[in-house]
Structure 1
Amino acid sequence: MKLSNSFSGALRTFAYFMASGSQYTLKGIDYISLYGNEPSAIEQVYAIFANVIELDNNGKVLNAKYAEKRATDYLRAYCDPSFKVDPPYEDWEIALHEPPPLKDQV
Structure 2
Amino acid sequence: MAHLSTDLRAALRFFAFYLGNGTLDEDLLDGIDYRAHLLQFGSDLEMIFAIYTNVLEIDEHGETLNDGDAQYRVAQWIRKCHDPGYQVEPPFEAWETELHGP
After TM superposition, the score normalised by the length of structure 2 is 0.91
Are 2:14 and 1:41 aligned?
no
Q: For residue 18 of structure 1, what is the aligned residue in structure 2?
A: 19
How many angstroms apart in 1 are the aligned matches of 2:9 and 2:29?
Answer: 22
Q: For residue 3 of structure 1, what is the aligned residue in structure 2?
A: 4
**1:14 partner amino acid:** F
**RMSD value over aligned CA atoms?**
1.1
After TM superposition, the score normalised by the length of structure 1 is 0.87
Identity %: 38
Q: For residue 79 of structure 2, what is the aligned residue in structure 1?
A: 76
How many angstroms apart in 2 are the aligned matches of 1:4 and 1:13?
Answer: 14
How many angstroms apart in 2 are the aligned matches of 1:42 and 1:82?
Answer: 21
Q: Structure 2: which 5+ runs fail to align? A: none
**2:3 partner amino acid:** K
Q: Structure 1: which 5+ runs fail to align? A: 100-106
Count of aligned residue pairs for this structure pair: 99
Q: For residue 93 of structure 1, what is the aligned residue in structure 2?
A: 96
Instruction: Report how far residue 27 of structure 1 moved.
Output: 2.2
